[in-house]
Structure 1
Amino acid sequence: MKKLTTVLLVSLLATITTKAQTYVQAGLNLANITSTNNGQTQDNKWLPTFNVGIMSRFGISKTFDLESGLLFTGKGAKAEATSGSDYVKVKFNPLYIELPLNAVVKIPLTANAKQNIFFHAGPYVAVGVAGKSTTDVSLAGVTSHTSSAIKFNNDDPTTSQQEGAAYDRLKRFDYGINLGGGFDFGKLLLRANYGFGLAKINSTQTNNSSNDKNKFRTFSISVGIPL
């Protein structure tokens, strides 16, 4: 019985591996950060940034699949205040390596199901690796520009410990939920995705707070090309 089970599992894995589809993905992110206790972004503006990486679908069936991969993706927001010709403009663009795991429901458009409409949803985890914040100021005709690297603390994602927490540092780890959909044309995949961050990004704040302030919100439009 054990041998039969082993043979069946190996056969299943071989079938999935044969049908797996890997593709290169790249696209535009519109990133923001919640600024109110109820999770709105009203005080911030959407920041254009990017996503690029590799995704794979396991090839489970014509109507259902799982996908995962690694993405290098930008998050953050921008804000500005103006009074006449005077202004302060801030851009905040941390960069993450993100690991998503999505369940994919497909609606075939052709008999062989190589072209389909799909919807996806699932969790993601991400680790901060780089980033930059910039500030542009114009006051009484005098302008200035400053730029600094974004710093991360060394928090433990399995506990509430925030080693190296400070007001000028982000949490190293982010997590949340992805929701979206798109079209798979066989040789080209178009996808729209909304990343709903669940972790507070400030290293001095705990995630069990009763409000939704200071969390990532990221809308993405991407193109995938099969390898």
Structure 2
Amino acid sequence: MSMKPIDFDRRYGELDHVVSAYLGQPADDEQDRPSRALRAYLRHTWHTRPWALSVAEQQLRAYAHNPPGRLRQRLGEFYPVPDIGLSDSEIQAWLVLLADHIKQSIESGEVPRPSELPETRWEWHAHFTELGQFLGGWFSQDMPDEFTGHEAAVRDYADSTDRTLVARLVGEIRELLALGLDEADLALAAAELGMELEPPQGHSTGSWLSTVADELSHFRPEYA
């Protein structure tokens, strides 16, 4: 049987955060230079959950030194490292290298400067979590089969989502717009965050997101 969530998190929870940062990115870390993916993880984690860095270092090292044997694999009680372009024989050394980079970052105490813009898809979603849920969950290519249009999808999100999360979405939209991106970069940001459709007719990505934020700011659930 697979591991219980609490056991998985204790053993592999932060390891999963680190490895997930590499999806779509090359695992090209070197001894004297962490990869772009690891820099994104370090930057975001230093500024949001600095305590998690030591957990990541410990879990990476523990997994590398004690890879799952046949019994744990048969029982499903292990973390399956996703395909990141490395062979099985290279994974252990790579995990140790990541642990070394994280340890060096902790011991040096040099906090990476915030990036003006997220640099990887993982960092976009880590920084704009609820906006990623909104765009990826309600505005995928399946949206026209589920809703009559953008407005209906926004209404469904508002009706089915806790008010604190709706408020968080409004804040994230306003934060994204405050970055001062041009329309092309806003469209790319929305695509990174999961939007697979064009904004409704008559709107650019920026004007539509601004309209959504305004509408949700004044929205009241039907049961209110």
TM-score range, shorter chain: under 0.3
**TM-score w.r.t. structure 1 length?**
0.20
**TM-score w.r.t. structure 2 length?**
0.21
